[in-house]
Amino acid sequence: MHIFISSYDFIVDEGELTLSGADHPGIVHHVTSALSKYHLSIENLETTQKDAPFGGTTLFLMKCFVTATDLTPGNLDIEAVKKDIEKLADSFNCDIDLEDVA
C-alpha cells in the first residue's frame, strides 16, 4: 500500500484488493472482517461471478479499494494485513492480492 501525506497532514494508505476463486458463502464477510480488524475502510466494492474456463465451477470475483486514515505515521502494519489476507486466501483456496495504488 502506498503512503502519502495530504494537505491536512493526515497519513493515508491506499491499496486495491482483488479476489478470485471458487465461490463460498461468507467470503466477503471474512475478507471485510479481516480488513476492519486493522481499521481499514472499503470503497467501491464490486463483486461478480463467472463460469470457470475449466471444471464447470463458478468463480467469485471481488475488487475494492482499501483505505486507512490515521494521524500517526507507521500506525498501520501493512505486513500484518498482508499476512492475514494470505491466510484467508489459503483457507478459501483463492487468490487475493493487495496492491499499492500509485
In sequence order, what are the residues at sequence separation of 6 or more whose Cβ sits closer than 8 angstroms to the Cβ of residue 92?
21, 22, 24, 27, 30
Q: Tell me the C-alpha to C-alpha distance, in Å, between residue 9 and each of 48, 65, 78, 100.
A: 37, 21, 20, 20
Query: How many residues are present in the chain?
Result: 102
In sequence order, what are the residues at sequence separation of 6 or more whose Cβ sits closer than 8 angstroms to the Cβ of residue 80?
38
CATH architecture entry for 12-100: 2-Layer Sandwich (3.30)
pTM confidence score: 0.78
Q: What is the pLDDT along the chain (102 residues), one digit of tens a residue?
A: 433 334 444 455 788 999 999 888 899 999 999 998 888 889 899 999 998 887 778 899 999 999 886 645 666 777 888 889 999 999 998 999 988 775
Backbone angles phi, psi at 30, to 5 degrees: -65, -40
> What residues does each domain of the chain span?
12-100
Q: What is the pLDDT of residue 14?
A: 82
In angstroms, the first-to-last Cα distance of the chain is: 9
